[in-house]
Amino acid sequence: MDAFVTLDALVAPLDRANVDTDAIIPKQFLKTIRRTGLGVALFYDWRYKDAPSDGRTEGLTADPSFVLNDPRYAGAKILLARENFGCGSSREHAPWALLDYGFRAIIAPSFADIFYNNCFKNGILPVVLLPDQIERLFSEVAGTPGTRLLIDLSAQTVVLSSKETFPFTVDPVRKTHLLEGLDEIGLAEKKAPLIDAYEKNRRERAPWLTPAV
Amino acid sequence: MARTIIDKIWDDHVVTEEKGTALLYIDRHLVHEVTSPQAFEGLRMAGRKVRRPELTFAVPDHNVPTTDRSLGISDPVSALQVDTLDRNAREFGVTHFSMNDHRQGIVHVIAPEQGITLPGQTIVCGDSHTATHGAFGSLAFGIGTSEVEHVLATQTLPQSRPRTMEVRIEGRAPQGITPKDLILAVIGQIGAAGGTGYVIEFTGEAVRALSMEGRMTLCNMAIEAGARAGLVAPDSITFDYIKGRPYAPKGELWEKAVDFWKSLPSDPQATYDRTVTVDISSLAPQVTWGTNPGQVAGIDGRVPDPESFSDPVVRDSARKALAYMDLVPGTPIAEIPVTRIFIGSCTNGRIEDLRAAAKVVKGRKVASGVSAMVVPGSGLVRAQAEEEGLHTVFIEAGLEWREPGCSMCLGMNPDQLAPFERCASTSNRNFEGRQGKNGRTHLVSPEMAAAAAVTGHFADHRTLSGS
Ligand code: SF4
């Protein structure tokens, strides 16, 4: 996983609440056995006119009314979103598609839990800001083409071009992992003696947990 | 200190803790074909093994055809995904119920059926509806593929302690009100994000009175309220359901287990971070009208006017939902016509659900222009239903009787809505495009789906005329 330290990037606004992971990437693309190459399928049904249900991605026409097709937001690495972003299915294909498309951070007033978790595992920083700060950002982005934001994970701040700064909170363990791009499985494996001890104790305490078959 | 069942299970599974993040031990890991290939591939690339293959259970369900299985899977991409699960299960030594195993079915239906799901456990699966297993008084939640890999490799998961929410269902359910109506009413009240960050414990007399099937329906949709998990404390109904199932403890171990399980319910003095009361004493059968499960009304209600919502975000969501669903504010719910019916899924694909639907369609006929399909949740549900003759009832009424799987709940296999088709579905998500691009999904109970099948529009199953 790539580390996340600071990000100074263009912002794309997605002005919809409850954007679910089916919308972020529909079912046709879940049949893959890889994690890469899903960027073309991001927001598939909204992004392409007459998106076919067979999951074809070549020869489609971009729907100009969809915000990511607006040339003003080409190259955006920050997605500005509304509440409960990423709700629904646990599919990690959603952050994979966002990452593959180029997003490294998502700012919203709230996220669904599983999606929020999944972002951290893939080097994407989900930032929760207060509703009025989100409102400010939406009007800023709408009013000023080319709006960029500086996200600083160490300082836990989102800095506007006016230098106005919005602080955010993030779990300290997740923050460290993201700052250093750590392999969490490797970290847990270092705790193997503790896991062994737990298992031994548990076998004695709750022997019925070993499946009967 | 008095603890809730959620705290008790949590405390029991902490291997170690630092800075508020616990390394949580996982008792059961369920795996399906869609969210696992990249996890197994990750293990292979890092030269890692599955730490506890005997605690890991795999089954293909999302991609499998619900028509004649002997023909195999026609879509080569789906076939590869199912084959990949097969190969991974063999290579890593994981228990596997393959597509042609008579026990195959939706992962959340077969794990309880096999006695794999037990009270007091931590259970994870790369699937958000893992919450279903909470019906047994276990802490069961959905995870992403990176976390699947983490659990495969270490049998643990770094987690922060969830907040606790009590959803107390008050009042006695009116006749004909089903568990699906209860959970839709809960989501309607607290909202599709109302449970975010929480684990919900469902309490109240009406919950205690539910069968295990009903409790599974209830917990299944906790995620649709945004909750990490939902659960119901175990009791004699739970123990009776589990006893004698293949993977359940036997003999002396059974006695020990039951003794322990009896200590799980929340202490009387325990407090929750939040408590919500939902009164069901005058609830009508529920039908969703929008594109999230919280957008719901009673069969006696009407499609709301978005302008009536004061919250601008709620208003905007309702506007977009009505545009997508092609509904006009003020339309009586009972006048909305449907042309497709889907009875099945991990929410309502168990034997009681099929019995309930069969009772409504018995002696009636599917309305003209309507096509209806019944997809049992597992091979064993299907066999049981056939033993009881339910399939004959469905077939005689003009519904299709299919092989088990996820089917049109998400339409990864060929079972999909055509664009703009309107469906009464017993599944759990009415998101845009969930059942097929531009398809319009209304979530209902099996009884209500059956009533819609025979009338061609939503209708109160309790007052259907003639048969
Ligand atoms: S039935 Fe639907 S919700 Fe349940 S596991 Fe299958 S796809 Fe997911």
Tens digits of residue pLDDT in B218-233:
999 999 999 999 999 9
Rounded to a whole number, what is the distance in Å from the CA of A30 to chain B's nearest CA? 6
> What integer pLDDT is reported at residue B180 of this predicted model?
98
pLDDT band at residue B467 under the 50/70/90 scheme: very low
- Asked if residue A2 has pLDDT above 90, the reply is no
Rounded to a whole number, what is the distance in Å from the CA of B344 to chain A's nearest CA? 18
Given CB atoms, is B427 within the 8 Å cutoff of chain A? Answer: no
- Asked if residue B4 has pLDDT above 70, the reply is yes
* Cα B277 to averaged position of ligand 1 atoms, centre (Å): 28
> What integer pLDDT is reported at residue B466 of this predicted model?
58
> What integer pLDDT is reported at residue A16 of this predicted model?
95
- Asked if residue A145 has pLDDT above 90, the reply is no
* Most trustworthy range by pLDDT among A57-66, B262-271, B308-317: B262-271
* B82-105 residue pLDDT tens: 999 999 999 999 999 999 999 999
* A74-114 residue pLDDT tens: 999 999 999 999 999 999 999 999 999 999 999 999 999 99
Q: Look over chain B and give the mean of its residue pLDDT values, rounded to a whole number.
A: 96
Task: Spell out which residues of chain B touch residue A174, defining contact as CB-CB under 8 Å.
Answer: 21
* B236-255 residue pLDDT tens: 999 999 999 999 999 999 99
Helix, strand, coil % in chain A, rounded to nearest 5: 40, 20, 40
* B360-397 residue pLDDT tens: 999 999 999 999 999 999 999 999 999 999 999 999 99
* B154-167 residue pLDDT tens: 999 999 999 999 99
Nearest neighbour of B437 by CB, restricted to A32, A45, A88: A45
Q: Look over chain A and give the mean of its residue pLDDT values, rounded to a whole number.
A: 94
Cβ-defined contact of A121 to B144 (cutoff 8 Å): yes
- State what percent of residues in chain B have pLDDT above 90: 95
ipTM over 0.95: no
* B48-86 residue pLDDT tens: 999 999 999 999 999 999 998 888 898 999 999 999 999
Rounded to a whole number, what is the distance in Å from the CA of B342 to chain A's nearest CA? 18
Counting atoms of ligand 1 from 1, which one is nearest the CA of B349? 1
- Asked if residue B113 has pLDDT above 90, the reply is yes
Task: Spell out which residues of chain A touch residue B155, defining contact as CB-CB under 8 Å.
Answer: 195, 199
Supply the residue whose CA is at minimum distance from atom 6 of ligand 1: B406
- State what percent of residues in chain A have pLDDT above 90: 89
Cβ-defined contact of B193 to A87 (cutoff 8 Å): yes
Q: Which residue, B287, B295, B290, B294, is CA-closest to B333?
A: B287
SS3 call for A62: strand
Task: Provide the strand spans (E) within A14-164.
Answer: 48-49, 61-62, 78-80, 105-108, 125-128, 148-152, 157-159
- Asked if residue B465 has pLDDT above 80, the reply is no
- State what percent of residues in chain B have pLDDT above 70: 100
How many Å is the maximal CA-CA distance in chain B? 65
> Cα(B446)–Cα(A70) distance, rounded to whole angstroms?
44
Nearest neighbour of A90 by CB, restricted to B51, B126, B149: B126
Can you give chain B as a three-state secondary structure string? CCCCHHHHHHHHHEEEEECCEEEEECCEEEECCCCCHHHHHHHHHHCCCCCCHHHEEECCCCCCCCCCHHHCCCCHHHHHHHHHHHHHHHHHCCEECCCCCCCCECHHHHHHHCCCCCCCCEEEECCHHHHHHHHHCCEEEECCHHHHHHHHHHCEEEEECCEEEEEEEECCCCCCCCHHHHHHHHHHHHCCCCCCCEEEEEECHHHHCCCHHHHHHHHHHHHHHCCCEEECCCCHHHHHHHCCCCCCCCHHHHHHHHHHHCCCCCCCCCCCCEEEEEECCCCCCEEECCCCCCCEEECCCECCCHHHCCCHHHHHHHHHHHHHHCCCCCCEHHHCECCEEEECHHHHCCHHHHHHHHHHHCCCCCCCCCEEEECCCEHHHHHHHHHCCHHHHHHHHCCEECCCCCHHHCCCCCCCCCCCCEEEECCCCCCCCCCCCCCEEEECCHHHHHHHHHHCECCCHHHCCCC
Look up residue B146 and give its two tokens: 């990176």
Nearest neighbour of A84 by CB, restricted to B25, B153, B192: B192
pTM above 0.90, yes or no: yes
* B199-210 residue pLDDT tens: 999 999 999 999
Look up residue A60 and give its two tokens: 């489609």
Arithmetic mean of pLDDT, A188-199: 96
